[in-house]
Amino acid sequence: MSTPGQLIDGKAVSAQVLAEVTADVAALKAQGVEPALAVVLVGDDPASHVYVRNKVLRAGEVGIRSLEYRLPAEASAAEVLALVAELNADAGVHGILVQLPLPKHIDETSVLQAIDPAKDVDGFHSENVGGLSQGRPVLTPCTPAGCMRLLRDTLGDLSGKHAVVIGRSNIVGKPMAALLLAADCTVTVLHSRSKNPQALCRKADIVVAAVGRPRMINAEWIKPGAVVIDVGINRIEEDGKNRLVGDVDFASVQPLTAAITPVPGGVGPMTIALLMQNTVTAACQQHINSAPAASEEATCRSAC
């Protein structure tokens, strides 16, 4: 480990992931497979439009074909499910992402459950969630997978480390805990009903904060020498300015840590890079599964 308070550079690591994905896409194309990601956007949520645009742009940069499907806010659940069924059946589509949130009249769970688990590049289908908790190699939610890559790049072997995850959402906290457990960490998950969360967190070698509360985790929560991953993205008004801050009080926490992610520029860029990685993994897996059993040609990268 280097100097205290080392910044974990999510932009640099995500660029590395994207370079790996670009090479994998080229290898697949050489075998006649063009990885394709379908992105479904329902309604007019401005933030969702920005997220979808960024995903489509990033896909183009790494050579993944993207297909955008925009449905009006009044689209029925049946229409969304019919589109998902069509994409499931299309062998030219390897990944399907339904941008959340969906309009209130559409049940998100039933839409996410309708996606073919082999194409579920967000890793939200119960088959992938279950596989993750059983330690099987499945498509894994992108943000926690990005956090794991940052932790492995920073610490190497995580075995035996005590990790504290603050937050237990299905999207971040729970899959994060499952991934850390699979990496042989001792894992504690804190949530809004936890007693003495500060004292518990202060025992951690690794802290992953996914709470959604600006700067809640201050120096009182951190053991000297801990590695801190801040997943939080919170917009606040401060000194007359609109700022983006994490769940960690960076100024007080950084000097205590061995290493810490900044916000922005930490976990944020990793999420989209891991989405691209999941898409290429899904394409690779579908390519292998569709090849004749005796075929020696359907080989992909080792990560697949």
Interaction of residue 168 with ligand NDP, rule CB under 6 A:
yes
List strand residue ranges (DSSP E) for the chain, in order. 6-7, 36-42, 65-71, 95-98, 162-166, 186-190, 206-209, 227-230, 234-238, 241-245, 259-260
- Residue 233 known to bind ligand: yes
Residue in the block written with tokens 């994060």: 176
Contacts of 189 (CB under 8 A, 6+ apart): 164, 165, 168, 173, 174, 177
Tell me the CA distances in angstroms from 220 to 81, 89, 200, 252, one per residue in order: 48, 52, 11, 9
Phi, psi for residue 79 in degrees, rounded to 5: -65, -40
Interaction of residue 145 with ligand NDP, rule CB under 6 A:
no
Q: Which is nearer to ligand NDP, 22 or 169 (CB)?
A: 169
Interaction of residue 190 with ligand NDP, rule CB under 6 A:
yes
Whole-angstrom distance, CA of residue 163 vs CA of residue 172 = 14
Interaction of residue 171 with ligand NDP, rule CB under 6 A:
yes
Whole-angstrom distance, CA of residue 282 vs CA of residue 118 = 6
Whole-angstrom distance, CA of residue 222 vs CA of residue 219 = 5
Nearest residue to ligand NDP on Cβ basis: 169
Interaction of residue 192 with ligand NDP, rule CB under 6 A:
yes
Residues with a catalytic annotation lie at: 55, 99, 122
Q: Which is nearer to ligand NDP, 41 or 270 (CB)?
A: 270
Where in 262-281 is the site for ligand NDP (CB under 6 A)? Answer: 267-268, 271
Whole-angstrom distance, CA of residue 77 vs CA of residue 74 = 9
Q: Which of 144, 175, 197, 262 is in the footprint of ligand NDP by CB under 6 A?
A: 197
Phi, psi for residue 117 in degrees, rounded to 5: -55, -30
Interaction of residue 193 with ligand NDP, rule CB under 6 A:
yes
Q: Which is nearer to ligand NDP, 218 or 234 (CB)?
A: 234
- 3-class secondary structure, 222: coil
Interaction of residue 229 with ligand NDP, rule CB under 6 A:
no
- Window contacting ligand NDP (CB under 6 A); options: 44-52, 62-70, 206-214, 274-282: 206-214
Q: Which is nearer to ligand NDP, 150 or 231 (CB)?
A: 231
Whole-angstrom distance, CA of residue 8 vs CA of residue 145 = 15
Q: Which is nearer to ligand NDP, 113 or 194 (CB)?
A: 194
Q: Which of 16, 169, 252, 299 is in the footprint of ligand NDP by CB under 6 A?
A: 169
**Which residues lie near ligand NDP (CB under 6 A)?**
143, 166-169, 171-173, 190-194, 197, 210-213, 231-234, 267-268, 271
Annotated binding-site ranges for NADP(+): 167-169, 233
